[in-house]
Amino acid sequence: MKLSASHLVRRFAAHGVGRVAVPVGNAAAGGGRLLRLKLLAGLIALPSLLLPAYGQTPISIINSDHNLSVSSPGTMHASSETEICIFCHTPHSATGDGPLWNHQMSSAAYQPYTSGTLKATVGQPNGSSRLCLSCHDGTVALGMVNSRRNNIAMNTTTMTGVNDLGTDLTADHPISFVYNTALATADGNLKDPSTLPQTVPLDRSSQVQCTSCHDPHNNEYGDFLVMDNTGSALCLDDVGPRAVRAGAAGDDDQSVGQ
Amino acid sequence: MRVLPETMISLLANNKKGAATSPLKVRTVSEAACTSCHVSHTAGGKKQLVRFEQPERNCVLCHGTEGPGQSVLADFNKVSIHPIYVNADSHTPEENPVNPPLRHVTCVDCHNPHAANQTPGSATTLAGSLVGVTGVSAGGAVLHNVQHEYELCFRCHGDSAARGPATVTRQAVETNTRRQFNPANVSFHPVEAIGKNTVSPSLLRPLTPSSRMACTDCHNSDSGTKAGGSGANGPHGSAYAPLLERMLLLTDATPYNANNFALCFKCHSSTVVDSSQNNSWAYHRQHLEQYRAACTTCHDSHGATQPHLINFNTTYVLPYNGVIRYTSTGLNHGTCTLTCHDGSGQNHAHNAVSY
């Protein structure tokens, strides 16, 4: 299956018209997450959306760094490959690691985040985060996909630069840990997960994953964040006001640095 | 989300929310946003995801020479400092606050960047810059939210096993400031409680014998506004050891000059003290000018087991027949038993000399 760039413009231009968040199960253990379906409804009635200018909209994957095809606006891209979805998804010959997953998975052992004040149990990355790390740990060739006999030729073999997190995740926000009421209580600065907005989703196992902060299909807010982080709104949706409440009596705020 | 320093500084300087509700530039980090100090990925400091590995760099981004906050960097290059560059990266939030594995002081040992505000402190009220930090109470208990400035100081300068030695060698050695300021002592500077004297002729108005004081009334930057300068206040660094706001000569033998004791004369009138009149103690002038004694040769600023903060400096004051003692015999009068090797090079034996 091949999708041309113009197909994707139509597909993602519909984003502004309406979208539904539908929980979709998949074969990966603990890998359930929200897959946003972009409604095509209204496209016919809005032919102006097909104008090239609308293709510049930041909500399109085409104009984001996650377009790894030759038409990518980013620094890392294929030498001649025109398909855009293929780097992550394939309708056939999927790996089974995620939703129609196509990219070769990493076999790296990771050093997870740790600190003396961390109350969560953070182990090896699991669930959908492993899908992200199949490119973002820098150990697997960007063009190594299951549906092709040979790697797709790229202008760089593996992820480089600031987006290459490596396998040492000790300097990165913890992922793949259960975020439940018990954790919020133990930490004291975390909001109860029941109060989190739907824009900050946990996975089916109530775990924080990359997708809790990032939506790989939507770069509307920059850095593929799930919501506008002005004033650190995204961070403060998780980390509640207790952490920043000045001089609260009895606030034994060990996480602050004392 | 990556925020370049320029972006972050702009964010702070244009903090409309803070500007609209308060005269303060930035009230809390929550308004300035988490990403000023924390980064989600590839954080230099790793733990707590702080931006830089060297802990103080996270602070001087704003509180250095280029940030929107008041710069404190220059103070840390002075003669007498809180040594933020020594073992600084050994700090952990979960460490034993009194006896950490390595003695150190980094910015967050004294400041809570999530809780601090710019409310000025006073002798009895905690400054906003120190809100939400850990200290030790007058009774010796660890407090996670100090209510008084001295409680913060007691954390490292009280019971802490690795506290420094005495600056001045004295007849009665006490290096634990928590014990020195104990109101049960015979005399003490009024940090924890109002002092013992009901009359103190040298006190400059508006101070009275009922006044209180804070550690930072003496231990402070020598270039801050409280010292008459334009820099940041606070005991970050000073040209005058031990981290004093003003000059204080700790040795004898220098010809008398009131400027050498500017710290004491901040609160105690030099004209009242340096006088032969009987309006404080009639022999102050003789000791200061003729014998060239320093204030600290007889007085121990923090607290003493004898009245009037008398705790002799044993470099200059030795026992007489095995006795070194001051006894108060009423207002402005007392007796001394000691041998004084004074600043003019003479020995003076005092056998219960009455003044």
In angstroms, the separation between the Cα of residue A208 and the nearest Cα of chain B is: 14
Task: Kindly tell me the burial class for residue B164, based on how many C-beta atoms sit within 10 Å of its own C-beta (0-12, 13-18, 19 or more).
Answer: exposed
Of B4, B27, B36, B46, which to mutate for an interface test with A (greatest number of A Cβ within 10 Å)? B46
Mean pLDDT of A2-26: 37
The answer to whether B83 faces chain A, any CB pair under 8 Å, is no
Which of the four pLDDT bands, split at 50, 70 and 90, describes residue B92? very high
Q: Could you give the residue ranges of the DSSP H alpha helices within chain A?
A: 5-13, 128-136, 181-187, 210-213, 233-238
Q: Which residues of B touch A254 (CB under 8 A)?
A: 93-94, 144
- Does the structure show a pLDDT above 50 at B195? yes
% of chain B with per-residue pLDDT over 70: 90
pLDDT-derived band at A43 (thresholds 50, 70, 90) equals very low
Residue in A with minimal Cα distance to B29:
A244
Confidence (pLDDT) at A201 = 85
**Closest C-alpha to A147, from A107, A105, A101:** A101
> For position A18, what pLDDT does the model report?
33
Confidence of residue B343 (pLDDT cuts 50, 70, 90): low
pLDDT over 50 (residue A8): no
Q: What's the pLDDT band for B21 if we cut at 50, 70, 90?
A: very low
Q: Do A256 and B113 touch (CB under 8 A)?
A: yes
For A221, nearest residue in chain B (alpha carbons) = B1
pLDDT at B35 over 60: yes
Q: Kindly give the pairing relationship between strand B347-354 and strand B325-328.
A: unpaired
β-pair partners for A36 = A21
Q: Tell me, what's the pLDDT at A40?
A: 35
Confidence (pLDDT) at A11: 37
Summary mean pLDDT of chain B? 88
Question: Is B18 in the A-facing interface, judged by CB distances under 8 Å?
Answer: no
Q: Say whether pLDDT at A179 is over 80.
A: yes
* Confidence band of B273 (pLDDT split at 50, 70, 90): very high
pLDDT tens digits, A88-129: 999 999 999 999 999 999 999 999 999 999 999 999 999 999
What per-residue confidence (pLDDT) applies to B123?
A: 93
Measured between beta carbons, the chain A residues lying within 8 angstroms of B108 are 256-258
Give the model confidence (pLDDT) of A201-238 as tens digits: 899 999 999 999 999 999 989 999 998 888 788 888 76
Rounded to a whole number of angstroms, the distance from the CA of A59 to the nearest CA of chain B is 17
Q: What is the pLDDT of residue B322?
A: 94
Q: Are B35 and A235 within 8 A, CB to CB?
A: yes
Phi, psi of A214 (to 5 degrees): -120, 140
The string of pLDDT tens digits covering residues A122-149 is 999 999 999 999 999 999 999 999 999 9
Q: What is the pLDDT of residue B276?
A: 81
Residue A239 sits at the chain B interface (C-beta within 8 Å) = yes
Closest-CA residue of A relative to B127 is A247
Sign of the four-CA dihedral B214, B216, B217, B218: positive
Residue A181, min C-alpha distance to chain B (Å): 21
**For the residues B268-287, what does the mean pLDDT come to?**
89
pLDDT at residue number A232 = 82
* Bridge partners for B353 per DSSP: B336
Q: Does B90 touch chain A (CB under 8 A)?
A: no
Chain A to chain B, count of Cβ pairs less than 8 Å apart? 120
**pLDDT of the residue at B315:** 95
Specify the pLDDT at position B33.
Answer: 75
Contact assignment for B145 to A225 by CB distance below 8 Å? no
Task: Name the more confident of B88 and B294.
Answer: B294
* Whole-angstrom distance, CA of residue A120 vs CA of residue A113: 10
Of B43, B93, B117, which has the smallest distance from its Cβ to A117's Cβ? B93
Is it the case that residue A70 has pLDDT exceeding 70? yes
**What is the pLDDT at residue B241?**
97
Q: What's the confidence (pLDDT) of residue A254?
A: 34
Q: How confident is the model at residue B283 (pLDDT cuts 50, 70, 90)?
A: very high
The predicted model gives A4-12 an average pLDDT of: 40
Q: Is B42 on the interface with A (CB under 8 A)?
A: yes
Strands (E), chain B: 80-81, 135-136, 142-143, 187-188, 237-238, 303-304, 317-318, 325-328, 334-341, 347-354
Q: Annotate B283-325 with DSSP letters as a single string.
A: THHIIIIIS---HHHHB-SSEESSGGGB--BTTTEE-BTTB-E
CA distance B100 to chain A (A): 12
Mean pLDDT of B324-335: 92
C-beta atoms of B145 and A222 within 8 A: no
Which of B2, B40, B45 is the closest to A173 by Cβ? B40
According to the model, what pLDDT value does residue B347 have? 85
B100: closest chain A residue by CA = A258
Q: Could you tell me where the DSSP H helices lie in B205-309?
A: 262-265, 270-273, 284-285, 295-298
Contact A258 B31 (CB under 8 A): no
Q: B166 near B180, Cβ under 8 Å?
A: no
pLDDT tens digits along B132-176: 999 999 999 999 999 999 999 999 999 999 999 999 999 999 999
Q: Is B7 helix (H, G, I), strand (E, B) or coil?
A: helix
The pLDDT, as a whole number, for residue A15 is: 37
Instruction: Kindly indicate the confidence band of residue B247, based on its pLDDT and cuts at 50, 70 and 90.
Output: very high
Contact with chain A for residue B75, Cβ under 8 A = no
Q: Which of A113, A235, A247 sits opposite B34 (nearest CB)?
A: A235
Pick among B40, B90, B109, B112 to test the A interface (most A CBs inside 10 A): B40
Please state the rounded mean pLDDT for residues B68-76.
Answer: 88
- A232, B34: Cβ pair inside 8 Å? yes
pLDDT digits (tens, 9 = 90+) for B220-241: 999 999 999 999 999 999 999 9
- Residue A112: closest CA among chain B residues belongs to which residue? B46
pLDDT exceeding 90 applies to what percent of chain A? 58
**Does pLDDT of B6 surpass 50?**
no
CA–CA min distance B164, chain A (Å)? 21
Higher-pLDDT residue of A199, A206: A206
- Between B68 and B304, the more confident residue is B304
**pLDDT at residue number B13:** 37
Determine whether the interchain pair A257/B145 forms a contact, defined as Cβ–Cβ distance below 8 Å: no
pLDDT surpassing 60 at residue B30: no
Tokens of residue A187, six digits: 């930490």
Contact (CB<8Å) A116/B38: no
Nearest CB among B35, B41, B93 relative to A254 is that of: B93
DSSP letter assigned to residue A55: G
Predicted pLDDT of residue B46: 93
pLDDT at A177: 97
Query: Is residue A186 within 8 angstroms of chain B, CB to CB?
Result: no
Contact assignment for B115 to A170 by CB distance below 8 Å: no
